[in-house]
Amino acid sequence: MSENFIPLSKPSLQGNELKYVTEAIETEWVSTAGPFIQSFEENTADYVNSTGAVAVQNGTSGLHIALEVIGTGREDEVIVPTLTFIAAVNPVKYCGAEPVFMDCDDSLCLDPNKLEKFFEKECEFSKGILRNKATKKQIKAIVVVHVFGNMADMESILEVAEKYNLPVIEDATEAIGTYYKKGKHQGRYAGTMGTFGVFSFNGNKIMTTGGGGMIVSNDNELLAQARHLITQAKSDPLYYTHDQVGYNYRMTNLQAALGLAQLEQLESFIETKSINYSHYQEAIKKIPGLELFSFRSSIRPNYWFYAIKVQSEYGLTRRELIDSLEQEKIQARPIWDLIHHQQPYKNAQAYEIEKAPIYLNLIVNIPCSSDLSSRDVERVNVCLAKLNEPTEMGSDQY
Ligand SMILES: *Cc1c(COP(=O)(O)O)cnc(C)c1O
């Protein structure tokens, strides 16, 4: 029982992290100016092939700024998924606007068919403006989340968005590195197809700056507005004139030093994650009642999070599975609770939410760190299989 603890997701800092952070400290550029910030922005934009990038404090602040630049205000509504981490939704409220919750499809991401149906049946479209019939409020934008490093159905979502003249903000916080391998958007990265895309470099994401984020766009004018807003909307650096209420959302040079080193390793992280995914896949397909969640076939995913669907055939409930793994020092976790059920959003409009509650009750996330060893994957696989055989379970475990 002296096995090591296997966390759900932890950072891997084996590249140039120490070197670059040391350089930031030795040169005393540790705050919101310094050369690593620009390099990190340029390299990220290069990597995902966007026109530009603006580094920010975290993914949440990036999403907030994207909504602000688009002009989201008190009279507006924004389409959001209900199956997501809550940080995709809260920024709508920061702008004083209201969210309208949508269901997911089988990719766990926003369902484009229900989106279109909602616009067709429940909204009025006139003179390029879409209004919710129930509230008379203008629908201002669509926030799409690329859940677990999968890709939402961007082909369909962008078509619907275009038809109704709506900007799309891609919450690509979990999906840096995911791109279309084929189809209409072949070669395009998650985050670069909408008006704005936002990445997160929180400690649990595929690459980390401790805490941090990045806004990307193909529109330089919009990126300039974003940069202005995150810099306290300072329009004259000498006389300190400000033309708007801005924010202090800039990334520090210390964070960017970490980020630059992490970005250098991103492809190797994805490679490791892809190999570990296959090893999980091989073992899990042999276990009755368990299924490893698969990514959309038209994409190269970044394999950020592994999700298993736990069916009743497995013999253990989702909760029992999580608890049993914990006893084996393996961290697992259920998917997020739905956002339209959360206290601050109980009165918000939610449209035909049917699939999200089903997936909510099926999914467990299992260890997925970027440097997870094959030995640890094997240990998880053995546990998953063993837990399925009731006779081998010592009664003292329960
Ligand atoms: C992590 C995450 C965010 C927020 O990013 P932070 O950097 O933690 O602020 C937003 N949306 C989703 C879906 C996330 O997973």
Give the domain CATH number at 358: 3.90.1150.10
Q: What is the pTM of this model?
A: 0.96
Q: Residue 78 — very low, low, confident or very high, per pLDDT cuts 50/70/90?
A: very high
Structural domain includes residue 240: yes
Residues 73 and 105 in one domain: yes
User: Which two three-digit tokens encode residue 113?
Assistant: 């068919």
Ligand 1 neighbourhood includes 87 CB (under 6 angstroms)? yes
User: In CATH, what number is assigned to the domain containing residue 44?
Assistant: 3.40.640.10
Q: Is 171 in the pocket of ligand 1 (CB under 6 A)?
A: yes
Residue to substitute in 83, 84, 110, 173 for testing ligand 1 pocket (most ligand atoms within 8 angstroms of CB): 173
CA-nearest residue for atom 10, ligand 1, is: 87
- Tell me: do 62 and 113 sit in the same domain: yes
Task: Give the model confidence (pLDDT) of 322-353 as tens digits.
Answer: 999 999 999 999 999 999 999 999 999 999 99
Pairing of strands 168-171, 138-145: parallel
On whether residue 145 sits in a domain, the answer given is: yes
Pair (229, 296) in one structural domain: no
339 in any annotated domain: yes
Q: What is the pLDDT of residues 261-275, one digit of tens each?
A: 999 999 999 999 999
Residue 398 falls within a domain, yes or no? no
Instruction: Please write the tens of the pLDDT for every residue from 165-181.
Output: 999 999 999 999 999 99
Which numbered atom of ligand 1 lies nearest the CA of 174? Answer: 15
Query: Are residues 132 and 25 located together in one domain of the fold?
Result: yes
Kindly state whether residues 57 and 176 are assigned to the same domain. yes
pLDDT in tens, 116-161: 999 999 999 999 999 999 999 999 999 999 999 999 999 999 999 9
- The total number of structural domains that make up the chain: 2
Q: Is 50 in the pocket of ligand 1 (CB under 6 A)?
A: no
Domain limits for position 42: 17-262
Q: Is the pLDDT of residue 186 over 90?
A: yes
